């Protein structure tokens, strides 16, 4: 398999094309603009359509149309732009339409800063729009994983008729790393009975997220809830790294997790028994991974996040259910947490009796 | 083996390009590599730097603050990144534009007059290639021939610069190796 040295954003875009994405609408924003830039050239090569919308809102609404027509469709943005798209993402969920939304997250509220951040955790996992719906949210820690998860995201979306979020951050999007690109997909879902693709010779179809029949709507909400439960049983993905003998476990996803791994290798050289749980699906969150820990051994769990305050730590606390103390080490404002800082934070905890 | 470096300079000096060439070359050589750029909103004239990590093992952070090598293409870069080098590490100074000396005595300092050397070879534009060569000479992280080959492939659209770039890479490597052999550096 040939390895290509690629920028994360371009690799995500290429993976989408290979997954069968044939419609993209987006609007530029740092640090994800290479995704639309790449697709301007690439999508026409495969008979797809690229549109730079007049805004983020227009772009996601175009994706709604493409998805309703049965086309694999994607949009991408970064934190402030995702805020603008949430109405459309909610419509996708309410209208049961599959689509992939890429969030190459940056830091801070409002316009914030263009630098990387993990501040979009709650948006991706708790409220990607109004209405209390959920999505599968995938969080890559390497460019290769960004490729693999983008490639799979379209299948999840089609399976569930629900939007899927790829939650990257500005480091993953902006860095270059070697990847092996997957073969272009050739097997796609059959023409489905909900596609709005011309009604000559058949009854016209209507797709909308508004249902005046509240009995039907309540049943739809119950079906969605059951689907979210199923995700917890069947789709949770996470990596365990050196957790077997660990008396301190770091919880981190995405860029923070790869930094934490370097820190753990250094700590292990000095004899500290430290491990890592890395959620790959941040939604559904891998609560189960924390049930597998031996709490007679694990003295502390440290969430490492590039966001102030820490957000994922709330899910970690929920998973740990007070079986051991949980705290967080954070960097914000676009500063990328360094291995030295993680080593320091762990040693600090240990010196305070947090772990042996 | 793991070698981390920051290449820093003004936008337009080609620091991003040589960082990417190192990444492409390392990948072609079967090594792991990461490249992470950082630049201001400006293009030419603003500050630009990139972090490159080349390793045999899996690479954790693509952003590094304790480095094996710093390449300072201009004076602000030396001021900013001099303290980021590990003891025993290397600082490569583009002495055509940086007139300060490295103040630390616990690192190896190489002074490469990249702009002058490139100009002698044909064009000052290849100063970044001189510096790229000097990094190869100082670090021995990658063999020079595959890097030249990568440069030829990635810069094929600028055919008339290819022989000059190749000569610049070789000249930079040679100068760095001779400075290393002469034991320059420990005295800063």
Domains in chain B, CATH or no CATH each: 2-181 (3.40.920.10)
CB contact under 8 A, B65 and A340: yes
For residues B88-105, one letter each, b for 16 or more C-beta atoms within 10 angstroms of the residue's C-beta and e for the rest, the string is ebbbbbbbbbbeeebeee
Cβ atoms within 10 Å of A334's Cβ, excluding its own: 17
Contact between residue A57 and residue A76 where contact means Cβ atoms under 8 Å apart: no
Chosen for mutation from B49, B61, B67 (greatest number of chain A CBs closer than 10 Å) is: B61
Looking at every residue in chain A, the average pLDDT score rounds to 96
Domains in chain A, CATH or no CATH each: 4-187 (3.40.50.970), 238-351 (3.40.50.920)
pTM greater than the 0.90 cutoff = yes
SS (H, E, C) chain A: CCCEEEEHHHHHHHHHHHCCCCEEEECCCCCCCHHHHHHHHHHHHCCCEEEECCCHHHHHHHHHHHHHCCCCEEEEECHHHHHHHHHHHHHHHHCCCCEEEEEEEECCCCCCCCCECCCCHHHHHCCCCCCCCCCEEECCCCHHHHHHHHHHHHHHHHHHCCEEEEEEEHHHHHCEEEECCCCCCCCCCCCCCCCCCCCCCCCCCCCCCCCCCHHHHHHHHHHHHHHHHHHHHHCCCEEEECCCCCCEEEECCHHHHHHHHHHHHHHHHCCCCEEEEEECEEECCCHHHHHCCCCCCCCEEEEEECCCCCCHHHHHHHHHCCCCCEEEEECCCCCCCCHHHHHHHHHHHHHCCCCC
pLDDT digits (tens, 9 = 90+) for A321-344: 999 999 999 999 999 999 999 999
Instruction: Give A120's contacts (C-beta < 8 A, 6+ positions apart).
Output: A79, A82, A103, A105, A167
Give the HSE-up count for residue B156: Cα atoms under 13 Å, Cβ half-sphere.
4
Q: Which of A5, A171, A263 minimises the CB distance to B63?
A: A171
Q: Please tell me the distance in Å from B1's CA to the nearest CA on chain A.
A: 14
Residues of A within 8 A of B151 (CB-CB) are none
Residue B34 touches chain A, beta carbons under 8 Å = yes
Chosen for mutation from A5, A33, A144, A239 (greatest number of chain B CBs closer than 10 Å) is: A5
pLDDT tens string, chain A, 356 residues long: the values are: 789 999 999 999 999 999 999 999 999 999 999 999 999 999 999 999 999 999 999 999 999 999 999 999 999 999 999 999 999 999 999 999 999 999 999 999 999 999 999 999 999 999 999 999 999 999 999 999 999 999 999 999 999 999 999 999 999 999 999 999 999 999 888 889 999 999 999 999 999 888 889 999 999 999 999 999 999 999 999 999 999 999 999 999 999 999 999 999 999 999 999 999 999 999 999 999 999 999 999 999 999 999 999 999 999 999 999 999 999 999 999 999 999 999 999 999 999 875 54
Residues of B within 8 A of A336 (CB-CB) are 61, 63
Contact between residue B61 and residue A262 where contact means Cβ atoms under 8 Å apart: yes
Q: Please tell me the distance in Å from A1's CA to the nearest CA on chain B.
A: 12
């Amino acid at each position: 398999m040939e390895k290509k040295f690629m920028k994360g954003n371009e690799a995500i875009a290429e993976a989408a094309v290979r997954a069968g994405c044939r419609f993209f609408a987006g609007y530029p924003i740092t640090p994800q603009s290479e995704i639309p830039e790449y697709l301007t050239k690439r999508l026409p090569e495969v008979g797809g359509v690229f549109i730079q919308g007049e805004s983020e809102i227009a772009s996601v609404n175009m994706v709604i149309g493409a998805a309703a027509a049965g086309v694999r469709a994607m949009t991408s943005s970064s934190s402030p732009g995702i805020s603008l798209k949430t109405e459309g993402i909610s419509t996708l969920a309410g209208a049961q339409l599959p689509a992939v939304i890429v969030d190459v997250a940056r830091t801070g509220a409002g316009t914030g800063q263009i630098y990387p951040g993990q501040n979009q955790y709650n948006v991706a996992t708790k409220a990607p729009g109004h209405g209390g719906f959920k999505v599968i949210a995938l969080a890559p820690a390497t460019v290769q994983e960004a490729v693999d998860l983008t490639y799979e995201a379209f299948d999840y979306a089609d399976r569930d008729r629900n939007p899927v979020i790829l939650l990257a951050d500005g480091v993953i999007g902006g860095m270059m790393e070697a990847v092996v690109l997957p073969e272009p997909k050739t097997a796609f879902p059959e023409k489905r009975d909900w596609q709005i693709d011309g009604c000559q010779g058949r009854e016209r179809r209507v797709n909308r997220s508004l249902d005046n029949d509240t009995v039907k709507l309540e049943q739809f909400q119950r079906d969605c809830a059951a689907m979210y439960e199923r995700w917890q049983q069947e789709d949770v993905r996470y990596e365990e790294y050196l957790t077997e003998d660990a008396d301190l476990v770091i919880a981190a996803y995405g860029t923070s997790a790869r930094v934490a791994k370097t820190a753990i290798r250094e700590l292990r050289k000095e004899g500290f028994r430290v491990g890592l749980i890395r959620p790959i699906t941040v939604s559904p969150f891998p609560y189960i991974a924390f049930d597998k820990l031996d709490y007679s051994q694990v003295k502390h769990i440290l969430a490492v996040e590039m966001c102030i305050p820490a957000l994922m730590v709330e899910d970690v606390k929920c998973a740990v259910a007070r079986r051991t103390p949980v705290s967080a080490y954070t960097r914000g404002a676009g500063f990328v947490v360094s291995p030295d800082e993680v080593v320091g934070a762990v040693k600090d905890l240990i010196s305070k009796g947090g772990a042996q | 083996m793991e070698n981390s470096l920051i290449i820093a300079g003004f936008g337009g000096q080609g620091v991003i390009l040589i960082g990417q060439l190192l990444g492409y070359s390392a990948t072609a050589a079967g090594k792991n590599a990461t490249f992470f750029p950082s630049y201001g909103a400006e293009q030419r004239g603003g500050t630009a730097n990139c972090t490159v990590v080349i390793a045999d093992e899996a690479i954790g952070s693509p952003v590094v603050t304790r480095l094996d090598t710093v390449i300072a293409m201009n004076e602000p870069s030396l001021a900013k990144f001099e303290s980021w080098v590990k003891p025993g590490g290397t600082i490569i100074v583009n002495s055509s534009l940086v007139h300060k000396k490295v103040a630390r005595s616990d690192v190896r300092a190489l002074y490469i007059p990249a702009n002058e050397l490139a100009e002698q070879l044909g064009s000052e534009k290849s100063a970044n290639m001189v510096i790229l060569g000097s990094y190869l000479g100082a670090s021995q992280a990658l063999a020079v021939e595959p890097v030249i080959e990568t440069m030829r492939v990635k810069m094929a659209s600028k055919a008339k610069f290819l022989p000059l770039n190749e000569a610049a890479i070789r000249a930079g490597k040679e100068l760095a190796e001779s400075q290393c052999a002469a034991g320059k550096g420990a005295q800063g």
